[in-house]
């Protein structure tokens, strides 16, 4: 099930020692993992916000993963409060928008030519 809003992509995060296959969620939360200001609540309605983790940033595009309330993973691609994409699902395909293609992959997943790795679980390439 995919949920897309504005221009944000959402993903799943984990806490503690629970193994989900998404190692970017396996660390303790930090101040950087807070939800971006100006993001509408409906954008992350299916996210477990306690598991939200900032995986990294690429050319001003902040990429977050989180556990989903009813699905394994959610992704948020956030360049700003007006252009964002969020999605949740049991298996993540490629999401387009914002001039990028973003892909969430479970562990272990090798690098692919033409894609930039952001953390262990996100791949990005220009469109």
CA 110 to chain centre: 18
Please report whether residue 81 resides in a domain.
yes
User: In 3D, which of 18, 117, 119 has the Cα closest to residue 65?
Assistant: 119
Is the overall model pTM greater than 0.85, yes or no? no
Could you tell me if residue 2 is inside a domain? no
CA distance linking residue 75 with residue 2, whole number of Å: 10
Q: Total domain count for the chain? A: 1
pLDDT digits (tens, 9 = 90+) for 29-85: 999 999 998 899 999 999 999 999 999 999 899 999 999 999 999 999 999 988 999
Q: Is 24 helix (H, G, I), strand (E, B) or coil?
A: helix
Domain residues for 31? 23-126
Tell whether 39 is covered by a domain.
yes
């Amino acid at each position: 099930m995919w949920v897309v809003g504005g221009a944000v992509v959402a993903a799943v995060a984990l806490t503690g020692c629970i193994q989900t296959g998404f190692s970017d969620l396996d660390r303790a939360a930090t101040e950087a993992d807070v939800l971006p200001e100006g993001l509408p609540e409906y954008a992350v309605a299916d996210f477990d916000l306690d598991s939200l983790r900032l995986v990294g940033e690429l050319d001003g595009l902040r990429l977050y993963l989180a556990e989903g309330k009813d699905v394994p993973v959610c992704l948020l691609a956030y360049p700003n409060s007006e252009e964002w994409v969020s999605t949740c699902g049991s298996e993540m395909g490629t999401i387009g928008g914002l001039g990028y293609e973003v892909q969430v992959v479970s562990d272990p997943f090798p690098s692919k030519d033409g894609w930039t790795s952001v953390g262990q679980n996100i791949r990005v390439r220009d469109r």
